[in-house]
């Protein structure tokens, strides 16, 4: 008789493998060695989460051109295997990867915030209504729901896009900023506006590339009365501001 406890565990639990190395794991997601190996320990700018080469705390761009948001929290760097999981989640709607990445962001948030410092509301980045109708899936809203359930913070669908964004992947940072000027607006709802007054909110996005979207949304939320805006994202690109 085989008395190896691991074999009994395999029989008792549904068959699950690590999303990275494919080794057997009890809870699914990542095994402990991969969880540790993929941990991003690099220094990052407190404001925009751009990787830093020195412990300055804030990058030169955020000092020279301060954004309306206070802090950026990202779970991972946008590079393999995280970039593959994120694209699989967005394009193929593989919720296994969505859960994996969301849990990594939740762990990061819990490590950085005390309970009293958590935002009052989570606000997902909106899609234009045409794109939302075509895709029938907004990954930022889905992520916000996962965080809301785990952290017990209400999610507010309070923003809308006034026009489609188009493909901005190959645009410079300045072109992105110009394209997004006036795009994000608070819903025309006095009760919603009242909820935001002097509140701390976190904007939820899937990936941060140039901070153009984060800057546009945080400016609108601050203009509408929010006291503090943070940005929470599954991943952050390693691009510098100059190459954006």
CATH number assigned to the domain comprising residue 96: 3.40.50.2020
Instruction: Answer whether residue 47 shows pLDDT above 80.
Output: yes
> Is pLDDT at 205 greater than 50 in this prediction?
yes
Within-domain flag for 79 = yes
Secondary element (H or E) of residue 208:
strand 200-208
DSSP code of 125?
Answer: P
Residues of the domain holding 101 = 54-243
Instruction: Look at residue 3 and tell me if it is in a domain.
Output: no
The reported pTM is: 0.84
Structure tokens at 104: 């990594």
On whether the CB atoms of residues 221 and 186 are closer than 8 A, the answer is yes
Q: Is 47 a domain residue?
A: no
Mean pLDDT of 120-138: 83
Q: How far apart are CA 193 and CA 225, in angstroms?
A: 8
Residues 101, 89 contacting (CB under 8 angstroms):
yes
Determine, yes or no, domain membership for 67: yes
Treating both helix axes as pointing N-terminal to C-terminal, what angle do 82-92 and 95-112 enclose, rounded to 10 degrees? 130
Beta-carbon contacts of residue 153 (< 8 Å; ≥ 6 apart): 118, 119, 120, 121, 122, 147, 202
Note the pLDDT tens digit of each residue in 64-120: 999 999 999 999 999 999 999 999 999 888 899 999 999 999 999 999 998 789 999
Per-residue pLDDT, 119: 97
How many domains does the chain divide into?
1
């Amino acid at each position: 008789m085989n008395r190896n406890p691991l074999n009994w565990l395999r029989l008792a639990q549904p068959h699950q493998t690590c999303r990275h190395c494919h080794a057997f794991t009890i809870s699914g997601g990542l095994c402990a060695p991969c969880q540790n190996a993929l941990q991003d320990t690099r220094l990052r700018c407190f404001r925009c989460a751009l990787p830093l080469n020195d412990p300055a705390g804030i990058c030169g761009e955020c000092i020279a051109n301060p954004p309306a948001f206070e802090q950026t929290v990202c779970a991972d760097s946008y590079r393999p295997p995280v970039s593959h999981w994120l694209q699989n989640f967005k394009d193929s709607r593989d919720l296994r990867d969505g859960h994996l990445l969301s849990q990594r962001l939740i762990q990061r948030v819990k490590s950085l915030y005390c309970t009293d410092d958590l935002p009052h509301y989570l606000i997902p980045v909106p899609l234009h209504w045409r794109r939302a109708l075509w895709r029938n899936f907004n990954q930022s809203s889905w992520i916000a729901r996962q965080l809301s359930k785990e952290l017990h913070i209400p999610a507010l669908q309070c923003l809308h896009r006034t026009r489609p964004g188009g493909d901005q992947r190959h645009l410079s940072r300045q072109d992105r900023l110009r394209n997004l000027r006036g795009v994000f607006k608070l819903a025309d709802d006095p009760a919603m506006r009242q909820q935001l007054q002097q509140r701390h909110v976190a904007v939820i996005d899937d990936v941060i590339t140039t901070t153009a979207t984060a800057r546009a949304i945080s400016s609108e939320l601050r203009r509408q009365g929010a006291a503090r805006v943070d940005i929470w994202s599954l991943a952050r690109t390693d691009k510098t501001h100059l190459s954006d």
